[in-house]
Structures are given as structure tokens and as C-alpha cells.
A and B are shown apart, each in its own frame.
Chain A
Amino acid sequence: MPADELTRDDVLKVAQLARLSLTDAEVGAYQAKLAQMLDYIQILHEVNTDDVEPMAHAVEVQNVFRRDETLPSLTPVEALANAPKTDGRYFLVPQILDH
């Protein structure tokens, strides 16, 4: 999509995918700034990449295994120490199922 066609609805859709609540002012600002960025990155389309493999990583290692053995890990108290809401045993979240 050409960047100048980036609509307000597109921005809201991306925000929904990214789980970001945005204010009206932010939606307008991101519409402009994203369009500017997308416009800039169009320069990549002048590069011929027909026979080029994508490069996801600089050190192209694959399948690094370790032994399947139990090692010390965090205690429940440590794991829960930074939780926004906990009952001391679990992370607490809002109810997601209706009874």
C-alpha cells in the first residue's frame, strides 16, 4: 500500500493487533509518522533481491541443543515478586470465561 493511503482505520487496526490503546491525538500523530516512515522505506524496492536468501541472523547457527537436565530455577516467591497482582501462589488476571 502506498504510504499516503494509510488511513485512520489502518492505524487503529495495527494498534489493535499490537494491543495498544491510543488517544485520538496519538492516532493522528502515528498516522502521519508511520506514513513518513513507510514512504522512506520504499527505497528498498529499487534493490533487486531476486536470488537473495533472507538473512534473519548475523550468526546463522541452527539447532543449538543442551542436555535435558533439571537445573535450579526461580522459587515461586522470586517468580511472583514483581507481579502486579498475585495471591502468593499464582499470577492473578481478570476473569476471561463466563460461568
Chain B
Amino acid sequence: MSLSGATAGELLLRLERGDLTAVEITAGYLDAIAARDGRVQAFLSVNRDEALRQATEIDSRRQRGAPVGKLAGLPVAVKDVICAKGQKTTCASKMLQNFVPPYDAHVITRLRDEDAVLIGRTNMDEFAMGSSTENSAFQVTKNPWNLSHAPGGSSGGSAAAVAAGMSPFSLGSDTGGSIRQPAGFCGVVGIKPTYGRVSRYGLVAFASSLDQIGPFANDVHGAALLLEAIAGRDPRDSTSVDMPVPKYAATVDEPLAGLKIGVAKEHFVAGLNVEVEAAVMAALDVYRKLGAEVKEVSLPHSKYSVAVYYIVCASEASSNLARYDGVHYGHRAESFKDMIDMFCRTRGEGFGAEVKRRIMLGTYALSAGYYDAYYLKALKVRRLIRQDYDEAFKSVDVIVSPSSPTPAFKIGELVDDPLSMYLQDIYTISANLAGLPGIVLPAGFSSSGLPIGLQLQGPAFAEERLLRAARMYERETDWHRRHPELPRG
């Protein structure tokens, strides 16, 4: 049965009515993966047997009238950076090629509690460092809309899996745009929640003050459903915030009256592709027709965001990745002289080029003599970036921008040019530095048929507002109903 294109909400309705079973849905998506993933290469592993077993058990509970979770029977693909007990979690790195976590991440516990079916593990840039998924040690994921183009990254596998109809939704992680940029490139919905909204327990750490887990879905309602399932306080992550989780899915269809949209003049400068700019302008017109007010705001420090980000993320990464020493888990070099040499060779062999580059930059920025000039300076400018947002959100409810400066670039196009690759994240990075939520949704196509993403950013914990504002636009357009041409499952 081909289910591709079905939204999570539609599938849930059919499950509840009894015209589809969890096993039928799971088998349908497994067939889609079998038919398409040879080309797209979004999955690093597929949990065929375990997923079908889980689906069978959910069906039998539903049949005998026993309680089932809110996502009962819906497949979820998970980025290979989120630990699931007994499922290999590689971070697309040789370092963790054979690592099998002994525990579940908090979000995996939540998904199991809601009876979501864990269908497979998706490809990514190694340790979530990259914007194209080309830094995977194992395979290069293709953009389902054009297989010679990148899906974005670092959560490129999770974005491509949803875009290609191989899962109705998926989980990614976003440290500088790693959910939102691939969502834009692949024409799906992606959310980076407020820092602290979702527990990071069991998320393999990259930059701990920036990392957040978030959902991908093929419509705004699906993203709301999945966010609602994973959000909330978890004592095992002391930065997760003890605030009630709104019923995102129940309110997503309610339009916001008197919506005030900010447009930052700093976002519309040289380097922005004309088709992307036109799509964002057209989206603003849709909002104006719906009664929203559009006004200019200023984020004067946004031009420093990429520089701040690369100091902060590299510094935190150099510290976090110190744990890969060949002692407790992961790769260990075969031959070495002594303990120190074992560490050095293990890490030299186990990490890929981009990961080493960031460890080097971070170690440098934190080293004696440079700490004040780089790390401390970056943290100060970080506060100014946050203050720009605080000021802007005094007069507007959301800020609308592109999700990235161009549609998906070609595979290999930026691989030797780290700085250009880093500048891909210019519209997304500030939200991570400031800890704010952002949503990306499809807003059109380029003349060559590649998706264009629209980003809405909001104040801390304004996810409900972002979802409702995004849905207002989605309801007026049919971009999310278009699907790439791929073999049918």
C-alpha cells in the first residue's frame, strides 16, 4: 500500500476509524524505504523486524480496547545522534560505528510511551557538524527533489526521509540550523524548539548550550503532534525547563488575530538568492491578505552570528568530544606507544576532517592566551545578539525570513570551502545563540524545481504561536502537498 504523502493527522484518523492498522502503515513505509532509499540513502539502518513487532503489539492492544499512546502506530525516523537502547547509534562517525547505547534518550522514552513506531535511524553529518550531510562517514544522502543536490544538514537524513515519503515524521537535532536548513532544502516542516523545551538527555552532545532536538513532518500539524510528544521537563537534563507543554496539535488550526510580523532589514542583503527573496515576499503578501501587519525590525548584530557561533560551537565541541578517548566505548587504535599516543591515534583515526577542524578551532579558542580574545569576546557578542531579539519582539510577534540564502546546493559544491558552508546557516544560527524557537515550512519552488523554505522565529517558549502562524500560511498554499517523483513502494 502506498501511503506516501499521507500526513500524520490523516494516518491517525484512519487508525482510529479502523480502516488502517499499525502493521499496514508500518509495512507500507518499510516498502517505501525498500523502493526509494537505494536512491535517497536517508537511512543508516532500518528496524524492520522490531518496527513490525511493535506495530503488531499496538494493534492487538487497540483491538482489545486497551489504552494506546497519542502516536500509536505512527512511524518515526530518528537521527542517528539520539540514543535508543539496543539500536546502534553511530553519529555517522567511525568513532561510534559499533556503539549500542545501554539506555534510551528522554525523547525515545517519550516516543515509546506514546506508541510511536521506531522505524529506522537516519544519516547526518558526523557528530551533527555540517550543513549538507556529506560529512557522514558512511554515505551521502541525496535531496529527494533532485538527487544531484544535497538535502542540507546536519539532519539531512531525517529531512529527506520525510520528503521522500519514507516516514510521516522524524526527529532531528539543531545546533545552528541543522533541522531548519534541511527542512527548507527538502520542502518539509521542521522546528527548532526553545532551548530547554526538550530534554537533551541521550542526545550525543555537540555544543551543549545550543543543541535542541526537534521534529520534522510533512505538515505543520504533524510537527505540532510530534513536538507535543517530546517536549517537557526531564530531571536528567537540568537545562530542561519546568513549564507546562501546550496542546500544540489542538490549537494549531486557530489563526492568530492581529498578528504582527517583523522583517529584519539585515536579512535581505547581498548573497540572498532572488527566487528565495521573491518567495519570502510573496509569503508576506499572503499574511497581509490574512490581516497581519508587516513591519521592519532591526537585528543589528546578526552579521556577527556566524563568527560567534563558530567560536562557541567549536569550543563546546572540543570539550564535549574529549570523551572519545578509546577507553569506555567507541573506536580504539590498534597500535600505539603509550596511553597518550593511544588517545591521539584513536581520535586521529576515528574522527573525520570537519570534526577535527572544529576540535582544533575550539581547542585554540580555549587555549591559554586566546580565551579572552575569542571565547569570552564571542560570549559577549552573543548577549548583544539576544538583546537584539528582545528589542525586536517588543514590537512584533514573529520574525519572518528565508531559512537559507539559496535553495539546495549541489553535492560536492561547497565541500572544500568551509566558510561558505558555514554561511549557509546565516538565517538560522542566531536563534540557537539566543535560545529561541524557529519553524521552517515550504514556501515555493525555484525555477529548477527545488524547494524554498520560509522561517518564522519567535520569543522563548512561543512554539504555539509559531505553529499557529505557520499553519495560517500553510492553509492558503499547497506547497506541502507536492511530492518528489520517486519509485512507489
B149 located at the interface, meaning its Cβ lies under 8 Å from any Cβ of chain A in the complex? no
Which of B25-33, B266-274, B360-368, B479-487 contacts the other chain? Answer: B360-368
Contact between A91 and B356, CB atoms less than 8 A apart: no
B292 located at the interface, meaning its Cβ lies under 8 Å from any Cβ of chain A in the complex? no
User: If A26-B356, A81-B102 touch, does A44 touch B377 (CB 8 Å cutoff)?
Assistant: yes
Contact between B381 and A91, CB atoms less than 8 A apart: no
Contact between B304 and A91, CB atoms less than 8 A apart: no
B residues less than 8 Å from A78 (CB atoms) = 102
Contact between A84 and B332, CB atoms less than 8 A apart: yes
**What is the CA–CA distance of A54 and B209 in the complex, to the nearest angstrom?**
13
Which of B8-16, B182-190, B344-352, B407-415 contacts the other chain? Answer: B344-352
Picked from B196, B340, B348, the residue with its CB within 8 Å of the CB of A58 is B196
Interface bits B382-403 vs A (CB < 8 Å: 1, else 0): 1110100000000000000000
Contact between A30 and B102, CB atoms less than 8 A apart: no
Contact between A20 and B102, CB atoms less than 8 A apart: no
Interface bits B319-354 vs A (CB < 8 Å: 1, else 0): 000100111111110001011111111011101010
User: If A37-B419, A59-B196, A83-B328 touch, does A17 touch B367 (CB 8 Å cutoff)?
Assistant: yes
Q: How far is the CB of B209 from chain A (nearest CB, A)?
A: 5
B241 located at the interface, meaning its Cβ lies under 8 Å from any Cβ of chain A in the complex? yes
B418 located at the interface, meaning its Cβ lies under 8 Å from any Cβ of chain A in the complex? yes
**What is the CA–CA distance of A49 and B301 in the complex, to the nearest angstrom?**
12
Q: Which of B365-385 contact A (CB under 8 A)?
A: 367, 370, 374, 376-384
Residue picked from A33, A38, A53, A74, most chain B C-beta under 10 Å: A33
Contact between A30 and B357, CB atoms less than 8 A apart: yes
User: If A21-B348, A49-B377, A57-B209 touch, does A82 touch B99 (CB 8 Å cutoff)?
Assistant: yes
Q: How far is the CB of A46 from chain B (nearest CB, A)?
A: 9
**What is the CA–CA distance of A22 and B359 in the complex, to the nearest angstrom?**
12
B residues less than 8 Å from A38 (CB atoms) = 364
Contact between B239 and A57, CB atoms less than 8 A apart: yes
**What is the CA–CA distance of A54 and B330 in the complex, to the nearest angstrom?**
35
Interface residues on B, range: 35 or more
B residues less than 8 Å from A49 (CB atoms) = 377, 380-381, 384
Interface size, chain A (Cβ < 8 Å): 50
User: If A21-B348, A59-B239, A74-B103 touch, does A33 touch B356 (CB 8 Å cutoff)?
Assistant: no
Q: How far is the CB of A13 from chain B (nearest CB, A)?
A: 8
B440 located at the interface, meaning its Cβ lies under 8 Å from any Cβ of chain A in the complex? no
B445 located at the interface, meaning its Cβ lies under 8 Å from any Cβ of chain A in the complex? no
Contact between A44 and B307, CB atoms less than 8 A apart: yes
Q: How far is the CB of B211 from chain A (nearest CB, A)?
A: 11
A residues less than 8 Å from B427 (CB atoms) = none
Interface bits A60-87 vs B (CB < 8 Å: 1, else 0): 0100101000000010001101111100
A residues less than 8 Å from B326 (CB atoms) = 84
Picked from B196, B327, B332, B351, the residue with its CB within 8 Å of the CB of A20 is B351
Picked from A18, A54, A91, the residue with its CB within 8 Å of the CB of B359 is A18
Picked from B307, B340, B383, B435, the residue with its CB within 8 Å of the CB of A19 is B340
Contact between B374 and A41, CB atoms less than 8 A apart: yes
B206 located at the interface, meaning its Cβ lies under 8 Å from any Cβ of chain A in the complex? no
User: If A14-B367, A58-B195 touch, does A21 touch B360 (CB 8 Å cutoff)?
Assistant: no
Residue picked from A57, A83, A85, most chain B C-beta under 10 Å: A57
A residues less than 8 Å from B343 (CB atoms) = 19
**What is the CA–CA distance of A64 and B303 in the complex, to the nearest angstrom?**
34
Q: How far is the CB of B91 from chain A (nearest CB, A)?
A: 13
**What is the CA–CA distance of A58 and B99 in the complex, to the nearest angstrom?**
31
Interface bits B289-318 vs A (CB < 8 Å: 1, else 0): 000000000000101101110110000001
Contact between A82 and B329, CB atoms less than 8 A apart: yes
B449 located at the interface, meaning its Cβ lies under 8 Å from any Cβ of chain A in the complex? no
B residues less than 8 Å from A61 (CB atoms) = 238-239, 241
B residues less than 8 Å from A55 (CB atoms) = 379-380, 382-383, 386
B462 located at the interface, meaning its Cβ lies under 8 Å from any Cβ of chain A in the complex? no
Picked from A53, A79, A82, A91, the residue with its CB within 8 Å of the CB of B383 is A53
Picked from A15, A44, A58, the residue with its CB within 8 Å of the CB of B308 is A44
Q: How far is the CB of B193 from chain A (nearest CB, A)?
A: 11
Q: Which of B421-456 contact A (CB under 8 A)?
A: 433-436
**What is the CA–CA distance of A21 and B322 in the complex, to the nearest angstrom?**
14
B100 located at the interface, meaning its Cβ lies under 8 Å from any Cβ of chain A in the complex? yes
Picked from B304, B322, B360, B382, the residue with its CB within 8 Å of the CB of A34 is B360
**What is the CA–CA distance of A64 and B182 in the complex, to the nearest angstrom?**
34
Given A14-B364, A21-B349, A94-B342; 5 other pairs, CB 8 A cutoff = A37-B310, A44-B307, A54-B380, A59-B239, A96-B339
- Give 8 nearest A-B pairs by CB, closest first: A58-B435, A54-B379, A82-B329, A21-B348, A84-B332, A49-B380, A55-B383, A64-B238
Sample of 16 A–B contacts (CB below 8 Å): A17-B363, A17-B367, A20-B344, A30-B356, A36-B418, A36-B419, A43-B304, A44-B381, A52-B384, A54-B383, A55-B379, A58-B460, A64-B239, A82-B98, A93-B327, A96-B338
